């Protein structure tokens, strides 16, 4: 059950395999007090202590290394960081807690951008999905404010020069609006910082609302509330793994469909029972959201 050290560290979200190989070659990694060398294999147990630059890092036990992926509907106002010194809300605050693993964000969304954000327990999957060489398509719904004409639309698909190089939308489709407020759906295959906003600003148009609605073939689920998450089933998870040439998973932390239906039915029965026991005054009170 041993695995290459760089694979164990990459899966735990400490960098890509290539980055970790460089760290190992530099003598910065130790396993149970012994400096690691490239090619070392390790079987992770509860007693295993892996350090990078002298600091113990968290890794999953080999036999428990099950890949999980969450789809999260990020609201505007949340930061894509694990913690904020000013106490502002982050995308990690609402995620389910885990004892022996951690969630790794697949890319980032600006504080003022909402929509689909993926999290995984497999750092190698996250790093590969984020790497521009895989060209995973992202789709955004964009509300813009300003004059938009055919010349500007052509520029946005042919290419404009940004501070960090030329950029363009892969596709650009008008989707409605009134007056100077128009909605468009655009796609990109890279995740450069604020790229959607900067592209529109380059042609003199401001973005007033931005929502990521799709990542690859994974859409933002209908009915998922802002700030809500849902765990990805094995079929979708393996679609992502296949996109980046990773082997398929055969096990899932999700309950089987029959068990999921039973749990949901029990939740409904409990809700109905609770409602039936409520007094007339309570039943007439308005519902609270959340």
CATH number for the domain that contains residue 54: 3.10.290.10
Count of all residues that appear for the chain in the document = 290
- Residues 171 and 59 reside in one and the same domain: no
Segment (H or E) for 282? helix 280-283
Which one of the listed residues 53, 93, 100, 110 is annotated catalytic? 110
Q: Kindly indicate the confidence band of residue 276, based on its pLDDT and cuts at 50, 70 and 90.
A: very low
**From the CB of residue 118, how many other CB atoms can be counted at a distance below 10 Å?**
22
- Residues 116 and 239 reside in one and the same domain: yes
Place of tokens 């890949």: 67
Total count of domains within the chain: 3
Least confident of 153-167, 176-190, 201-215: 176-190
Residue 261 lies in a domain: no
Average pLDDT, the chain: 84
- Residues 144 and 173 reside in one and the same domain: yes
* Mean local confidence (pLDDT), 134-143: 94
CA 268 from centre of chain: 30
- Residues 44 and 153 reside in one and the same domain: no
Least confident of 96-110, 216-230, 269-283: 269-283
Which of 14, 30, 64 terminates a domain? The answer is 64
Residue 251 lies in a domain: no
Rounded distance between C-alpha atoms, residue 22 and residue 4, angstroms: 14
Instruction: Measure CA of the first residue to CA of the last residue in the chain; give whole Å.
Output: 44
The answer to whether 212 and 116 have CB atoms below 8 angstroms apart is yes
* Helix/strand/coil for 63: helix
Rounded distance between C-alpha atoms, residue 169 and residue 150, angstroms: 15
* Mean local confidence (pLDDT), 147-175: 93
Output the pLDDT for position 232: 93
Residue 273 lies in a domain: no
- Residues 24 and 49 reside in one and the same domain: yes
- Residues 87 and 104 reside in one and the same domain: yes
Domain housing 154: 137-215
pLDDT tens profile 55-114:
998 886 654 567 899 999 999 999 999 888 888 999 999 999 876 678 989 999 999 999
Residue 249 lies in a domain: no
* Mean local confidence (pLDDT), 12-26: 86
Residue 146 lies in a domain: yes
| pLDDT surpasses 60 at 285 | no
Rounded distance between C-alpha atoms, residue 135 and residue 87, angstroms: 35
Which of 64, 83, 110 terminates a domain? The answer is 64
- Of the chain, the percentage scoring pLDDT greater than 70 comes to 84
Which of 26, 43, 64 terminates a domain? The answer is 64
- Residues 230 and 110 reside in one and the same domain: yes
Annotated catalytic residue 93: no
pTM assigned to the model = 0.70
């Amino acid at each position: 059950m041993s695995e290459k050290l760089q694979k164990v560290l990459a899966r735990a979200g400490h960098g890509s395999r290539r980055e970790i190989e460089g760290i190992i070659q530099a003598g910065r990694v130790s396993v149970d007090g012994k400096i690691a060398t490239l090619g070392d294999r390790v079987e992770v147990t509860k007693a295993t202590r892996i350090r990078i630059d002298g600091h113990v890092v968290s890794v999953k036990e080999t036999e428990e290394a099950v890949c999980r992926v969450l789809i999260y509907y990020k609201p505007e106002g949340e930061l894509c960081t694990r913690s904020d010194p000013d106490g502002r809300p982050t995308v990690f605050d609402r995620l389910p807690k885990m004892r022996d693993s951690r969630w790794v964000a697949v890319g980032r969304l600006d504080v003022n951008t909402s929509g689909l954000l993926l999290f995984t327990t497999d750092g190698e999957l996250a790093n590969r999905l984020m790497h521009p060489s895989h060209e995973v398509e992202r789709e955004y719904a964009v509300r813009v404010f300003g004059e938009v004409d055919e010349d500007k639309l052509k520029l946005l698909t042919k290419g404009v020069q940004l501070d960090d190089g030329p950029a363009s939308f892969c596709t650009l489709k008008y989707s409605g609006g009134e007056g100077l407020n128009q909605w468009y759906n655009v796609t990109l295959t890279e995740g450069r910082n604020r790229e959607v906003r900067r592209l529109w600003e380059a042609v003199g148009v401001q973005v007033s609302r931005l929502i990521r609605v799709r990542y690859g073939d994974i859409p933002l689920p209908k009915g998922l509330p802002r700030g809500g998450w849902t765990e990805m089933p094995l079929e979708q998870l393996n679609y992502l793994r296949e996109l980046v040439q990773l082997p398929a998973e055969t096990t899932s932390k999700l309950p089987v469909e029959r068990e999921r239906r039973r749990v949901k039915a029990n939740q409904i029965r409990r809700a109905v029972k609770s409602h039936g026991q409520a007094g007339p005054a309570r039943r007439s009170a308005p519902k609270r959201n959340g």
